[in-house]
Amino acid sequence: MATVLVRRRFPRLSRVTAALLTSSAPCKAEEGGGWRKEEEEEEEENPKKGAAIQLLTPPGYRVLHNPAAYARSRARSSLQAFGDAPSGSAVPAASSQLLPPARNALAKPPRRKKTPLRAKQEVEKEQSELHDSKEDPRVFQRGRPEYKSLCYDRFELLETLPGEEAEAILLGVTSWGGNQTPVAITECFQKLSRLPEERHAALLAEPGFDTLSRCAVEQIQGFSTPQLIEILKACVRLGVPPAHPLLDACERDFCRRAWAMSLEQLLLVADCWRCLPRAVPSYLSILFSYAARSCQDLALPQLVQLLYIIGEGRRAPPELVQKLEGVIWKHLDACTLEEVGAISLGLFKSLSAVPERLVRRIAERVAPELEEMSTYALVNVLKLLRYARLDHLPLLRELGKVIPPRIPTTNVQGLMHVALACSSLHYYDEAVLAAVAAALPSKVAYCRSKDAAKFLWSFGCLDYEPPNEEEFYSSLIEHTRRKLREFDRFPEHLLTGLLGLAFVGRFPEELIDYALSEDFVQKTRNSKYELGKDLFTLGRSVEIECPGYRGSRLSPQLSQEMTQLVLAFAQQEIFVRPEIVEAVSLLESVLGGPEYVKSHMILPHARSSDLEVHLAADGRPVPFNVKDSAGRELRDIGVSLTDELMAQLLKGKCSTQPRRGAENEATAPGWEPRGEKQAPQTPFSGRSGPARISLHISPPLGGFLDAPSSPALPQQPGGVKLAIQVSNRNHYCYLSKRLLGLHRLKRRQLRLLGYVVLELPFWEWFPLLKRTRSEKLSYLHYKVFDPALLRGAP
């Protein structure tokens, strides 16, 4: 059944991208606490953390063995070892009550009979889309002969063992009396591992293999280190299950003898554990401790292989990563491009803080040679840039030349990482995004649920709707619907995708109804991420933009809880920012007092601040912020409540003292000056304001400019409510004036609620903060009292 899409169309603002601004990399947090870091913390690369690894010292080290920690189930162990997370299976979603079909609902294409040629093409395409998470990261190992002593080589050519000889070996093993030598046991493992791969499963089920394994366990300490390594390599070739008792014994003994092994042997054994795959945190702790003691002596292949092991283990002691920084600098220029990609991937997966200078050095190393770099290695560098939230303009510009021609032959996960890197860095490159969008519909069937969600997020974050937008979005929405039940395990991905759709004004009802259901909301509470704010943003956006929606909604309790959470953050982190504090203070001077301006969040779910101002139809400011101004008045005056003052208040009598600050009046259009000399108006950027204004820009210390005597005047019909946005560079794409999706959504919703959006753009306001008070007042007056605002009122 096709998913119905509810979409509001709004006039698109012109895309202003020509002016490049001198700003640094995007900040790490968005206003309101920021979105979940993708980036950072990418689930497809960085699954849930396991046991922490700490550096150890050789003296007195003891291995605490707990076989139950590894003997879950064979299937689960093989999936989750070394940090790999199993992917969920898709269950068709039950159809829900839908709104009338929209114009972009999907129609089922008629089935076509497959020809042999078409079937062959589909097989070839499927093979090109496959991503081998075990072998793809190991491509760098084929670049130097030195890796043969550090890694398990699955492509090593070995003479095949005939089946009859294998049967003879197993028959002889069953007759052993338990007194075989380690040499004989090792030879048996080596020979049996040369059986054809299709016979491995049958071999592991033979009683003779169990006997051979038991003999090896009983004599485990009698093996030399090279012999034990050969047995481990044989286990890799045979595909011995990770929870096998023989591997338990091997791990214990390798941990016992690790400090007497060479670094090459330690790395080779760690590589074998990865290939099995089996989680070995105790062994990795010893390896990392060993490496930390001699990291300055690491050869280039040892360094790259160590970083590969660190990445595949998804964790490393921070002090080891710090020590490796200097070694990377030393060897970086001698690395091949594939090795640079492997280093980047290892650092990305390590979950460690990577110094910015090192990330920038890696980007400088590959930028001139990007065209010669494989797409896989290039994507790994992009992952590291994304993780560090570091821009590198030469690399990004070169990316726009190199990547688009490769898009058709890049698998769907590679495309996702390219798009996600652009969105995480707030880097808008239409050529890259258009190429991804054009290729994706034909590849969407190969998307995991997280891939589809992050495509939607990336395009929505950059507020980009490609030329094939209907095909692009419809294919992803329909694929998300088919994968709907997978999101029960990964609820964060569904919210990621739906927020990306909301940014561009698309609201598929069936998916939203499911995401806001009580059952799904309960599942989000079990996520490792805090998803309440994402639910809040989605739920409130649906309320504002889809008045006809009749599906599930957030509970009032959750909405209230999230509102308080966001506002509490805003009080500490947003409202106190210098550019906002200065704007509020000066607007109070321009308008006449704190009752004319309110600094708050009109839309808390949008997670950024607003300065609200009301103007009457004739342009006169209207007081409305009585509560804040009353509290401000008491704070500024600091009056003691004496008996005499209380008596005067109860009798309704006024003090005989003159009104405070009466000589310091600020007037706006429609107000009469009170005997003041008009201050000369200072035009901003050569432009004069629409009307003259009387300004006294030096109020008494601790005071404020007085307001008119009627602070409760209602807003006149035809007036406007201004939502003033004090923007910063994090609201825009990198080096451009193109708004990001979240802020486009916010402004769209403000207009739907009847507000006129007025921006103090950072490229104007931030430089002005260093200018005179008179210039800032003149600028704000010009902005607020622009007659065009009244003409644009709803």
Percent of the chain topping pLDDT 90: 60
Q: What is the pLDDT of residue 71?
A: 32
Mean pLDDT of the chain: 78
Alpha-carbon gap, residue 553 to 541, rounded angstroms:
11
What's CA 253's distance to the chain center, in Å?
A: 41
Q: Decide: residue 496, CB within 10 A, 0-12 exposed, 13-18 middle, 19+ buried.
A: buried
pLDDT level of residue 316 (50, 70, 90 thresholds) = confident
pLDDT digits (tens, 9 = 90+) for 395-445: 999 999 999 999 999 999 999 999 999 999 999 999 999 999 999 999 999
Q: What is the predicted pLDDT for the residue at 8?
A: 43
Q: How confident is the model at residue 789 (pLDDT cuts 50, 70, 90)?
A: confident
d(CA 384, CA 395): 13
What integer is the mean pLDDT of 109-130?
56
According to the per-residue pLDDT averaged within each range, which of 123-127, 214-218, 451-455, 784-788 is highest? 451-455
What Å distances lie between residue 72 and 1, 227, 243, 248, 639, CA to CA? 39, 28, 8, 13, 71
Q: What per-residue confidence (pLDDT) applies to 450?
A: 94
Nearest alpha carbon to residue 603 among 723, 693, 735: 723
Quickly state the pLDDT bin for 630 (edges 50, 70, 90): low
What was the pLDDT predicted at 691? 33
Is the confidence at residue 37, as pLDDT, over 60? no
With cut-offs at 50, 70 and 90, classify the pLDDT of residue 327: very high
Q: How many whole angstroms separate alpha carbon 268 and alpha carbon 233?
A: 9
* Helix residue ranges, H only, 483-576: 491-503, 509-515, 518-524, 532-545, 556-573
Which helix (H) or strand (E) element contains residue 74?
A: helix 74-80
Residues 6+ apart with CB under 8 A from 536: 554, 558, 559, 562, 563, 566, 604, 605
- Integer Cα distance of 76 and 87 in angstroms: 11
- Reported as a single tens digit per residue, the pLDDT across 536-581 is 999 999 999 999 999 999 999 999 999 999 999 999 999 999 999 9
Q: Which residues pair with 611 in a beta bridge?
A: 599, 724
Which band of pLDDT confidence, cut at 50, 70 and 90, is reported for residue 130?
Answer: low
pLDDT at 31: 45
* Residue 114 binned pLDDT confidence (cut-offs 50, 70, 90): low
Which of 61-65, 374-378, 437-441, 769-773 is predicted least confidently?
61-65
Predicted confidence at residue 30, as pLDDT, reads 42
**Phi–psi pair at 611, nearest 5 degrees:** -110, 110
Residues 116 and 679: their CA atoms lie apart, in Å, by 86
Q: What are phi and psi of 746, to 5 degrees?
A: -60, -45
> pTM score, two decimals?
0.76
Cis peptide before 126 (omega within 30 of 0): no
Helix (H, G, I), strand (E, B) or coil at 7: strand
| pLDDT confidence of residue 734 | 94
Residue at token pair 């093996």? 223
Which range is least confidently modeled, 277-291, 513-527, 649-663? 649-663
Mean pLDDT of 586-593: 95
- What three-state secondary structure class fits 468? coil
In contact, 295 and 312? CB cutoff 8 Å: no
pLDDT at 294 over 70: yes
What distance in Å separates the CA atoms of residue 666 and residue 695, rounded to the nearest whole number? 5
**Residues in the chain, total:** 794
Instruction: Give strand pairing partners of 722.
Output: 613, 756
Write out pLDDT tens, residues 462-502: 999 999 999 999 999 999 999 998 999 999 999 999 999 99
User: CB of 88 within 8 A of CB of 486?
Assistant: yes
Q: In angstroms, rounded to a whole number, what is the distance separating the alpha carbons of residues 734 and 362?
A: 21
Model confidence band, residue 366 (pLDDT cutoffs 50, 70, 90) = very high
Mean pLDDT of 80-101: 36
For the chain, how far is it from start to end, CA to CA, in angstroms?
A: 39
Q: For 694-733, what is each residue's pLDDT tens digit?
A: 333 333 323 322 323 333 334 456 789 999 999 999 999 9
3-state secondary structure of 789: helix
Q: Which amino acid would we find at residue 83? A: G
* CB within 8 Å of 632: residues ≥ 6 apart: 594, 704
CB 577 within 8 Å of CB 597: no
% of the chain surpassing 70 pLDDT: 71
Cα 605 to Cα 536: distance, rounded to the nearest angstrom:
6
What's the average model confidence in pLDDT over 50-56? 51
Residue of 477, 366, 363, 379 whose CA lies nearest to 422: 379
Amino acid 134: pLDDT:
76
Is the Cβ–Cβ distance between 379 and 415 less than 8 Å?
no
Closest CA to 386 of 28, 768, 2: 28
Tell me the two tokens of residue 69: 């920690």
Which tokens belong to 542? 């649906």
As a whole number of angstroms, the distance between CA 255 and CA 266 comes to 10
β pairing state of 506-508 and 5-7: antiparallel
User: How confident is the model at residue 23, as a pLDDT?
Assistant: 40
Q: Secondary structure of the chain: what % helix, strand, coil (to 5)?
A: 55, 5, 40
With a cut of 50, say whether residue 70 has pLDDT above it: no
Q: What is the mean pLDDT of residues 300-329?
A: 91
Q: From the CB of residue 580, how many other CB atoms can be counted at a distance below 10 Å?
A: 20
Got the DSSP string for 634-672? HHHH-----HHHHHHHHHTPPPSSPPTTTT-B---TTPP
**pLDDT higher than 60, residue 678:** no
> Can you tell me the mean pLDDT for 504-532?
94
What is residue 128's predicted lDDT score, i.e. its pLDDT? 56
Among 347-351, 558-562, 778-782, the range scoring the smallest mean pLDDT is: 347-351
As given in the structure block, the two tokens for residue 306 are 């160590």
Q: What is the pLDDT of residue 338?
A: 95
pLDDT in tens, 137-185: 888 998 899 999 999 988 888 888 888 888 888 888 887 766 788 999 9
Q: What average pLDDT does the segment 285-297 reach?
A: 90
How far is CA 746 from each of CA 507, 605, 738, 766, rounded to the nearest angstrom?
A: 15, 9, 14, 22
User: Where do runs of H (alpha helix) occur along 96-162?
Assistant: 116-129
Residues 6+ apart with CB under 8 A from 483: 90, 448, 449, 452
* pLDDT at residue 230 greater than cutoff 50: yes
Of 439, 490, 483, 436, the residue nearest 459 (C-alpha): 436
Dihedral sign (CA 543, 546, 550, 552): negative
